[in-house]
Structure 1
Amino acid sequence: MLRAAAEEAARLKAEQDAKANKLRSVPVPTDQVTVEMNNITRLTEGAKTRQKDLLIRLQETVASKEKDLKDLKEENDLSERGIVKGPKPFRSVTAEKRVLEALKVEIDEAIKSQNEQVRELEGLYKERLEKVSSPTDETNIFYKAKIQELKTEQFQTIKLKLDLISKLDEIKVETEIERKRRIKKASFDNEQDKYLKDRATLNKIKQNTAISSTPLTSKDFDFGQKQSGNIQIIKNVKNVESGYYLVIAVHSNVTKRDDFLRKTVASGQANINFFYDVTTSKYFIYYDKFDNLSQAQKAMISKGSKPYNSEMSMVKIEN
């Protein structure tokens, strides 16, 4: 009994395999319509391979972009911890973008071509049904299944393409975020370097400038940009506190700034200082700062006749 059951199972499997093989085998053409259907079917097989190869290239591109993004994130994370990675080999972003756009065009053209071939095959199939309408006809059965198979594959191909393009768009957005993060960090580092360099210069001037043996006059000083009599408000100035500053000179030129600092120190003002406004790219030189307006106004009134005070003005910093 077991042997009989096994033989029956084997027979059924053989029948199923035979049917499957028959469905996979292109029927021998019997007329002009089936000749055309046969030719188109062979073309669709080649097109399927081409689409697959193109999508593999697109998948590889996505993987490469993902790795670049991962590396950029890691580079930024390490940079924030003070660890600098070695430079990566140069790659032209413009060239890569051009290659990607060309690949997307190739994929779209391949999909369009395959869709047209499937539509043409389906049209011929319907034309044949008008002549041979039998649902048991092997040719009809084969092409009905083949057309459905091709449509399903095209749906999957288009979905995969859209998923990959969507992934590329996500990577592009995240990469831009990381690039801005890197630029911001670089900008911060540059500002900090500048601040430290400015501090070092100021300290050097204070330490190495002796009191002038000949009293200086206001004519010896270049006060830089003329300031109005109104209180100037500057916001978001780094490395200084909010408050009212009695500014005695404003320069955008570092050499002129340093010359003014030296002459002020030479005139006996050792508390000279300055802050940098990144918005205007100007150095505001001062030696007094107050927390409230009334104190600052009193100090301006009693500024005296020191030569470096001739162009004193008030600046309010709001951080």
Structure 2
Amino acid sequence: MAAERAAQLEAEEQARLAAEQAAQLEAEEQARLAAEQAAQLEAEEQARLAAEQAAQANLEIAQKDDLAKSMYALTEETKEDKAKQEELLIRLNEVLIIKEKDLKDLKEENDLSEQGIYLEPKPFKSITAENRAMEAIKSELEATINKRNQTISELENLYNQRIKKGSNRNDATSQYYLETIQNLKAEQVESERMRASIVSTLETVKVATEVERKRRIKRALYDNEKDRFNKDMAALERIKKNTPLSPVPLSIEDFNFGEEQSGNVQILKGVQNVDNGYYMIIAVHENINDRDEFLEKVVASGQSDVNFFFDVNSSKYYIYYQKFDYVEEAMRALDSKGNKPYNEKMSVVKIED
């Protein structure tokens, strides 16, 4: 029992000593942190006082005489213009970032489409307002840069006047403004460089975007033309398959030939899905229903080889059933067209690239 009691007392003593030691260390750490904080505050205060003293000294130097005071006012004006200048450069660069992103997205969409990978197209942005805002920023930036350059020029003129009136080039005020003018000019050179770089890149992006927009439009037109062609051929096949021969001969009056054609050989360019050559046109229609009605009557008359092509430039359908490689062959066919009613208004159209 005595031994256990002694061990317990010893453990309690060790715990007490450890607690006292921990408390001592904690008090020392707090004292160290407090001393460091006090030293930091003192250093900051000294730095603030030094800065204030330096600023006061510079203010006295900068406003030593009347000309210097005028120069000081111009210097303060350049600071305001610099802030505005920098803000406008940032805004113009933000426009550039947006336009570069739009170009990247449009190019990716076009590239993937050409690889057969469909990407949901982003709607065309109305860039009129966007470009108007961009031009406003460019105009305001140019005006601000010009104004600041003018202010710096006025500052330099006052500096030269002060020297001509006898001020020492090497006194503190002259040296202060000489350095100020040099720094301001360097800032303007950099601002001009940045503006020129952004504007140049914007122009490059504009040209590239126009290329991609035309590329997208061309692709969309191609897709639309392909879809229209497939529908047209399906309609022609349906008419040929489902139209029975007429039990009685049809007359010229039964046919609506559509648009009157010239007696001369007409030349069409850019027609899709047909080969170059001379086509014996028997009717021209803009309306699909009129086209199909004419086709049905031609098929009902026994001419099952009838066909047609679409001229995207005029949005008209040209119906034919004969095609030749040479004009002489076409003209002979025109002369020997016979008395079939659907040949009454036959004309020759040349398809070329």
Q: 2:287 aligns with which of 249, 253, 276?
A: 253
SS for the counterpart of 1:315 is strand
Structure 1 unaligned residues grouped into runs of 5+:
1-19
Q: Judge conservation of contact 2:279–2:323 (CA < 8 Å) in 1.
A: yes
Bigger radius of gyration among the two:
2
Q: Give the C-alpha shift of residue 91 in structure 1.
A: 4.9
Instruction: Provide Cα deviations, 1:52-100, integer angstroms capped at 9, x if missing partner.
Output: 2221221221122111111111122122233333344775422212221
Q: Give the C-alpha shift of residue 268 in structure 1.
A: 1.4
After TM superposition, the structure 1 stretch with the greater mean CA deviation from structure 2, 39-48 or 197-206, is 39-48
Q: 1:273 aligns with which of 300, 307, 326?
A: 307
Map 1:180-195 onto structure 2 (within 5 A).
180-195=214-229
SS for the counterpart of 1:122 is helix
CA RMSD of aligned residues (A): 2.6
Q: Give the C-alpha shift of residue 301 in structure 1.
A: 4.6
After TM superposition, the structure 1 stretch with the greater mean CA deviation from structure 2, 152-161 or 92-101, is 92-101
Partner amino acid for 2:219?
A: K
1:117 aligns with 151
Instruction: Provide Cα deviations, 1:236-282, integer angstroms capped at 9, x if missing partner.
Output: 32211222322222222221111010011111111111122233332
Question: 2:178 aligned with 1:144, yes or no?
Answer: yes
Instruction: Provide Cα deviations, 1:159-186, integer angstroms capped at 9, x if missing partner.
Output: 2212211221221111112111111222
Question: 2:340 aligned with 1:311, yes or no?
Answer: no
Q: What is the rounded CA distance, in whole Å, between the counterparts of 1:135 and 1:214 in structure 2?
A: 115
Structure 2 unaligned residues grouped into runs of 5+:
1-53
Question: 2:219 aligned with 1:196, yes or no?
Answer: no
Bigger RCO of structures 1 and 2 (CA < 8 A, at least 6 apart): 1
Instruction: Provide Cα deviations, 1:91-111, integer angstroms capped at 9, x if missing partner.
Output: 542221222122122212221
2:198 aligns with 164
1:243 aligns with 277
Question: 2:115 aligned with 1:64, yes or no?
Answer: no
Question: 2:213 aligned with 1:179, yes or no?
Answer: yes
Partner amino acid for 1:276?
A: F
Q: What is the rounded CA distance, in whole Å, between the counterparts of 2:270 and 2:130 in structure 1?
A: 40
Q: Judge conservation of contact 2:109–2:121 (CA < 8 Å) in 1.
A: no
Q: 2:189 aligns with which of 134, 137, 155?
A: 155
Question: 2:240 aligned with 1:206, yes or no?
Answer: yes
Question: 2:47 aligned with 1:47, yes or no?
Answer: no
Percent identical across equivalent pairs?
51
After TM superposition, the structure 1 stretch with the greater mean CA deviation from structure 2, 26-35 or 109-118, is 26-35
Q: What is the rounded CA distance, in whole Å, between the counterparts of 1:200 and 1:139 in structure 2?
A: 90
Q: What is the rounded CA distance, in whole Å, between the counterparts of 2:233 and 2:317 in structure 1?
A: 13
Q: What is the rounded CA distance, in whole Å, between the counterparts of 2:75 and 2:332 in structure 1?
A: 95
Q: Judge conservation of contact 1:26–1:142 (CA < 8 Å) in 2.
A: no
Q: What is the rounded CA distance, in whole Å, between the counterparts of 2:339 and 2:207 in structure 1?
A: 60
SS for the counterpart of 1:27 is helix
